[in-house]
Amino acid sequence: MRVRTRCTAVIGTIALFASLALTTASADESAAPRPAAGVKLTEVGTATNPIAGAAGPRGTVWIAERAGTVRVLGPQGLGAPVLDISDETTTDGERGLLGVAFDKNFARFYISYTDLEGTSTIDEIAVRNGRLQPQTRRTVLTQTQPYENHNGGDIKVGPDGYLYIALGDGGAGGDPHGNGQNLDTLLGKILRIDPAGARRGQAYAIPSDNPFVNDPTARDEIWAYGLRNPWRFSFDSANGDILIGDVGQSDWEEIDWAPARNKGGENYGWSSMEGTHPFRGGTEPANHVPPVFEYDRTGLGCSVTGGYVYRGKAIPSLRGQYVFSDYCDGTVRTLKMRNGTVTGQGDLGVNGGEAISFVQDGAGELYVLGIGGSISRIDPA
C-alpha cells in the first residue's frame, strides 16, 4: 500500500499501466478473461474513506473508516460510530484503522490500527448483546514499523478460532532490512495467535501447532512468511483455504493460496522473488511457494486488492469463484480454481472505483469498498 496524491490512501506502488496476465501458467489467448456472472453493484452506503469491514452479530456488517471510526451498516446506510479511535491513530502514509474482525461467537471484536507513533497495534474489545464494551478494551499485540508504508493490517479469525494478522515488510522499497525472509521479525508475515487463550500476565497464547514453535531462530507467532504487503487476505468459508493478495514492488501483483490442510510455514518468496520472478537478482528459495496467480503492470493495474471466494446464494453462477480487484484498475475480477490451480479468469463487468477492500457478510454476499466513499454490494443483474 502506498499513498497517492489523488486520494487519501492507496495500496501499492506507483501506478503503472498493466494488463492482467494469467498466473504461473502461460498467458495465451485461451486465458483471456470471460464474463463470470451477470452482476451489478448496488450502492448501499457511503462513508469517509471506508477501508475494511466484517460480518457482525445479528446479520449486520461493520465498516471501518480509515481515520478511526467504526459504523454499522443498516437499511438506511451507516449509523453513528460505535467506536471512535481517531485521536489515537495517524493516517500518515498508509496508516490508520486498517482492519476489523469478530471472533466466531461475536463475543470479541478486534481492531488493527497504527497508533500515533505509527506502531501496528491489535486491540480486543468484548461484545455483549451485539454492543461493544469499551471498558474491556485491551492491547493484544504491537509491532514497531520502520516506515509509513507496507504496514499490512488485515486481520481475520480463522476457522480454527485463532486470530490471523497480516503485516507488511515494514516499508520503504525493496525490503531494505530483509524482513520478508527473516524469521526473527514479525514483519513480512502472517501471524497466528490465540488471544482468548492468554494466561494471566500474557496478552495472547501461541497455538502449540504453529510451524516455528520449536525453532529457536524464528518467532513463534509466524504462520507464513516471504510477503511484501499482504494488504487483504481471506479464508474460504466452505473449506478453510486461505488466499492472500500480496501487493508487488514494481512489476508483478500476486495471489497466494494455501489449502486448509497445510500446517503453515509457507515461504511466499519476497524479497528474493516478486511473484514467480527473481527480484533484483535474487535466488529463488528452495521452499518457495509460488503464487497461484500473478499479473503484470503493462496495463491499468498497480496494486492487487484481495477478496473472497464467493459462497453466497444470490448469484449461483459465481459460487466457488475467487473475487478480487486492483486499487488502480477497479475492475471486479474472478478466478476459477481447482486444487490450487487456476482454471479460468473472469471479469464481472463492474468497477468498484479505487477498490480498497472487500467485505463478506454473514450470508456470504460480498461488498466492495471504494476509498473515495462508496460501499457497494455485488448483486445479480
pLDDT (tens digit per residue) in 245-293: 999 999 999 999 999 999 999 999 999 999 999 999 999 999 999 999 9
Q: Is the sign of the CA dihedral 366, 76, 101, 149 positive or negative?
A: positive
Strand, helix or coil for residue 200: coil
For residue 36, what pLDDT is reported? 61
pLDDT in tens, 6-15: 333 344 433 3
User: Is there a contact between 193 and 212 (Cβ–Cβ < 8 Å)?
Assistant: no
Q: Is the pLDDT of residue 337 over 70?
A: yes
CATH class for the domain made up of 46-300: mainly beta
Please list the alpha-helical segments (H only) found in 137-184: none
For residue 194, what pLDDT is reported? 98
CB-based burial label for 199 (10 Å; 0-12, 13-18, 19+): exposed
Confidence of residue 75 (pLDDT cuts 50, 70, 90): confident
For residue 26, what pLDDT is reported? 33
Lowest-confidence segment of 26-35, 53-62, 110-119 by average pLDDT: 26-35
Q: How far apart are CA 253 and CA 295, in angstroms?
A: 5
Q: Is the pLDDT of residue 41 over 50?
A: yes
Q: How far apart are CA 182 and CA 13, in angstroms?
A: 23
Q: What is the DSSP letter of 199?
A: P
| Amino acid identity for residue 259 in this structure | P
Q: Is the sign of the CA dihedral 139, 143, 144, 148 positive or negative?
A: negative
Q: How far apart are CA 84 and CA 237, in angstroms?
A: 30
Hey, which residues does 324 pair with through a beta bridge?
Answer: 333
For residue 17, what pLDDT is reported? 28
pLDDT in tens, 200-224: 999 999 999 999 999 999 999 999 9
Q: How far apart are CA 66 and CA 123, in angstroms?
A: 16
- Kindly state the average pLDDT of the residues 107-116: 98
pTM for the model stands at: 0.92
Mean of the per-residue pLDDT values of the chain: 92
Confidence of residue 37 (pLDDT cuts 50, 70, 90): confident
Q: How far apart are CA 237 and CA 361, in angstroms?
A: 11
Q: How far apart are CA 127 and CA 104, in angstroms?
A: 12
CA 354 to chain centre: 15
pLDDT in tens, 169-193: 999 999 999 999 999 999 999 999 9
- Kindly state the average pLDDT of the residues 149-165: 98
- Kindly state the average pLDDT of the residues 65-71: 98
Say which residue, 153 or 30, is predicted with more confidence: 153
User: Is there a contact between 379 and 328 (Cβ–Cβ < 8 Å)?
Assistant: no
Query: How big is the CA angle at 204 (ends 115 and 71), to the nearest 5 degrees?
Result: 45
